[in-house]
Structure 1
Amino acid sequence: MNSTTRPRSAPIVLLDATAIPADRGGVGRYVENLVPELVASGVDLVVVCQQRDEAGFTASGARTIVAAGWAARASGRFAWEQVALPSIARRAGAAVLHSPHYTFPLFSRRKRVVTIHDLTFFTAPEVHSRLKRVFFRSWIRAAKALRLVVVTPSQTTADEYVRITRASPSRVFAAPLGYDTAVFHVPSEADLTAFRSTLVPEPEAWVAFLGTLEPRKNVPALIEGFVSATRSTSPDQRPALLLAGGAGWDEAVAGSVEAARGAGFDIRMLGYAPLEHLRALLGGARVTAYPSLGEGFGLPVLEAMASGACVLTSRELSLPEVGGDAVAYCATDAASIGRELARLLADEPGREAYAAAGIQRAAQFSWARCAARHTVAFAAALGRRALVPSGVVGRHA
């Protein structure tokens, strides 16, 4: 454990950050941004993490414990979580153990809180592999059976959890996610120039997508819709379609990309995009499209709005809770995506109006508010009205 000391003003919360990947996708950004806000709000926080993440969490003000190396391996992590993590929590004097990604120790004397990010394993099972469906459904049901306090990233997901598991609403807390204002804001010309320079050839204009290339992101339908929307545009005026995100398990994406390229459309798979380029990718696009089949929150929509993008998304599950009236909507079929995308590409004033509204809408979300909801959940797990005594004030109070 690091040497940071502080007065014991609140029960200790131990957060297990060992499962977050080196490439910070949605869950990684959730944990990375939540930790400093919990510390700032007065939570006495201990983070268990991998060696590579220790410096970052220590710099945020949390005390840290580096997990054994075998906890980082997929083959060993489950055993480590079930056997070693409860022991670490006991030695740290933790009153609450927070598991931020579905799984948790089945046996522990600590009060347990678990984050359940979405319920599409039940509501849209066809977009997940059978193994994932069985695995995550089992853990979601276990959280209810053990009467754990559950945190979700949206009220929609909280309601779905209660509906599907019949859990008590009093044990479920929606904590809408936030965004890093230092990263996601309207890109400067220098940001756009730096981003363009990473692409060869450099595109004059583009439509952006950000997310893991998995079936529920609906990328093949987006590609078909993009082709339909831009078919009548001359090739020298046609925007590119930039697909940014880690490789998933949607086998149809590669075939859709190849077919569209063969027909003369500029479609690029960028892979995992560095964080420093995301605001340019999203905010510099003519349209950022995210026609997902269902989300527990929809962090790319929020980050795109914060970056000044005109966003096109679907009305599935939590996405309207994030986008409100500040984004354009389409159905999830290729024809609807194409119609709405064509409409936006032809309407520059409309795009500018959506961009302005999105910036205002995004400002309603913050990691400080997200952290505040977590402290309410931690207090509920302990049967307390508040986790942090009234005399302890964080910088965002």
Structure 2
Amino acid sequence: MTAGRPPRVLIDATSVPTDRGGVGRYVDGLLGALGKVCGSGVELAVVSLRTDLERYTRMLPGAEIIPAPAAVAHRPARLAWEQTGLPLLAQQVGAEVLHSPFYTCPLRAGCPVTVTVHDATFFTEPEHYDKSRRTFFRSAIKTSLRRADRVIVPSKATRDELIRLLDADPTRIDVAYHGVDQAAFHAPTEEEKARVRARLGLGNSSYVAFLGAKEPRKNVPNLIRGWARAVADRVDPPALVIAGGQGHDEDIDRAVAEVPSHLRLLRPGYLRYADLPGFLGGALVAAYPSYGEGFGLPILEAMACAAPVLTTPRLSLPEVGGDAVAYTSEDPEQIGTDLAALLDDEQRRLSLAKAGFDRAKEFTWESSAEVHIAAWSRARS
């Protein structure tokens, strides 16, 4: 290794799901920013699913993009390949550092390893995960903290929880806040808002928005109950639109069944990426009453779309939202009270929308990339 020379890093992007999701947003945002400094701050090789080859080749013209075996599209095969094929690939491309962006890493990589641990909620909020998922990720986090040369986390709250709960070495943890793609997530035009309302069949009706996975930790059932409390007695009640993946929270159906028949609740599933600014920025309120997040990318993306945001002060969320969002608790009664107060106060919604939009500009993928490069340089040395 040559002092002062950019480290040669192999990034394993095979964990990116086809629907992108949170890990996809992270990897895409990071690689996009690295593409702007590739050749000066870092020398990159990226291994990805075959479906992402064109995307990353276009994004990283100066990097070596390597197709992973087709079988790794399936998680069990990917985890097995991570332990055997990935270290071999790292050796073949001359990697000085291997970066694993989603909790797990090879036990014997043959070079220094850095791992992104996205959150500690598998320990702080265990009741919101099924046993198999909780057991897997708890084990993966413990292993990565023990094996990785450096661990990258997206917030100080996550760092502090890893230290508090798992006695992690604070000198080996780097905090790299996520960024937001200002081109993809922007204050929408009236035409963009209208297009989304038309696609959702809302016409000119107003709505409250949720965008995210339907996992128990996201607290969607209590959002539904709180929304119903907030709007049930209004002359023209705004709809609630629950967008995103289907997830595995069985209580959502029970909460939906409790909604009064005169209220309108939509569950459109995944929205087109190009429609997200119009969806978020066109909402009266973007509500995200999570029990806790490692970062909280959905609220940052909503802020970037100039949406007034209602969330909880749990774990990392105040690091992201600061004074630019409204806060509530996790129970439906308080959600209903705080949501109703926002719906009744247009001036506050406008103020939050502007404050959130301005604050979102402080979170950039370029800043995140700089922290990653520094971590890789430390790992190499």
Check whether TM > 0.5.
Answer: yes
Amino acid at match of 2:128: V
Q: Residue in 2 aligned with 1:3?
A: none
Deviation at 1:170, TM superposition (A): 1.1
Q: Which residue of 1 aligns with 2:128?
A: 127
Where do residues 1-397 of structure 1 align in structure 2 (5 Å cutoff)?
9-41=5-37, 42=40, 43-61=42-60, 62-234=63-235, 237-260=236-259, 262-383=260-381
SS of the residue aligned with 2:81?
Answer: helix
Q: Is the 8 A contact 2:293 2:314 kept in 1?
A: yes
The CA distance in 2 between the partners of 1:341 and 1:14, in whole Å, is: 45
Amino acid paired to 1:253: I
> How far has the Cα of 1:366 moved from its partner?
0.4
Give the deviation of 1:201 after TM superposition: 4.3
Q: Quote how far apart the aligned CAs of 1:146 are.
A: 2.1
> How far does residue 247 in structure 1 lie from its aligned partner after superposition?
0.8
Q: Distance in 1 between matches of 2:80 and 2:151?
A: 22
Aligned residues: 373
Q: Is the 8 A contact 2:7 2:380 kept in 1?
A: no
Q: Report the Cα offset of residue 24 of structure 1.
A: 1.4
- The structural deviation recorded for 1:299 is 0.4
TM-score, length-scaled by structure 2: 0.96
- The alpha-carbon deviation at position 145 of structure 1 amounts to 2.1
Measure the CA separation in 2 of the matches of 1:211 and 1:203.
Answer: 24
How far 1:25 sits from its partner (Å)? 0.8
What per-residue deviation string (whole Å, max 9, x for no partner) do you get for residues 334-359 of structure 1? 01100000000000001000011111
Q: Hey, what's the Cα distance between the residues in 2 that align with 1:159 and 1:32?
A: 26
**Match for residue 5 of structure 1?**
none
Separation in structure 2 between the aligned mates of residue 47 and residue 233 of structure 1, nearest angstrom = 53
1:13: how far off?
0.4
Letter in 1 for 2:107: L
CA contact (8 A) 2:113 2:148 kept: no
2:298 partner amino acid: P
CA apart distance, 1:9: 4.9
Give the Cα–Cα distance (whole angstroms) in 1 for the partners of residues 164 and 134 of structure 2.
18
Q: Is the 8 A contact 1:327 1:354 kept in 2?
A: yes
The CA RMSD measured in Å over matched residues stands at 1.2
Structure 1, gaps ≥5 residues long:
1-7, 384-397
Conserved 8 A contact 1:288-1:310: yes
Question: In the TM superposition, what is the alpha-carbon distance from 1:240 to its structure 2 partner?
Answer: 0.5
Q: State the Cα distance separating 1:54 from its structure 2 match.
A: 0.4
Aligned-partner Cα distance in 1 for 2:163–2:73: 32
User: What is the percentage of aligned positions where both structures have the same residue?
Assistant: 46
| Contact 2:115-2:148 at 8 Å conserved across structures | no
The one-letter amino acid of 1:36's match is G
Deviation at 1:91, TM superposition (A): 0.3
Q: Matched residues in 1 for 2:332 and 2:288: separation?
A: 12
Q: Within 1, Cα distance between the matches of 2:284 and 2:194?
A: 16
Cα distance in structure 1, aligned partners of 2:25 and 2:332: 30
Contact in 2 for aligned 1:171/1:380 (Cα 8 Å): no
- For 1:289, what is the secondary structure of its paired residue? strand
CA contact (8 A) 1:100 1:114 kept: yes
Alpha-carbon contact 1:294-1:316 (below 8 Å) kept: yes
Residue 40 of structure 1 and its aligned partner are, at CA, apart by: 1.8
Structure 2 counterpart SS, 1:167 = coil
Distance in 1, Cα, partners of 2:273 & 2:156: 27
Alignment match, 1:387: none
Quick one: distance in 2 between partners of 1:74 and 1:369?
31
For 1:19, what is the secondary structure of its paired residue? coil
Q: Indicate if the aligned counterparts of 1:203 and 1:240 stay in contact, CA closer than 8 A.
A: no
Find the aligned partners of 2:91 and 2:32 in 1 and give their Cα distance. 23
- CA-CA distance at 1:147 after TM superposition: 4.8
Counterpart contact for 1:203–1:239, Cα < 8 Å: no
State the secondary structure of the residue aligned to 1:325. helix
Code of the aligned partner of 1:56: R
Distance 1:147 1:24, change over 3 A: closer
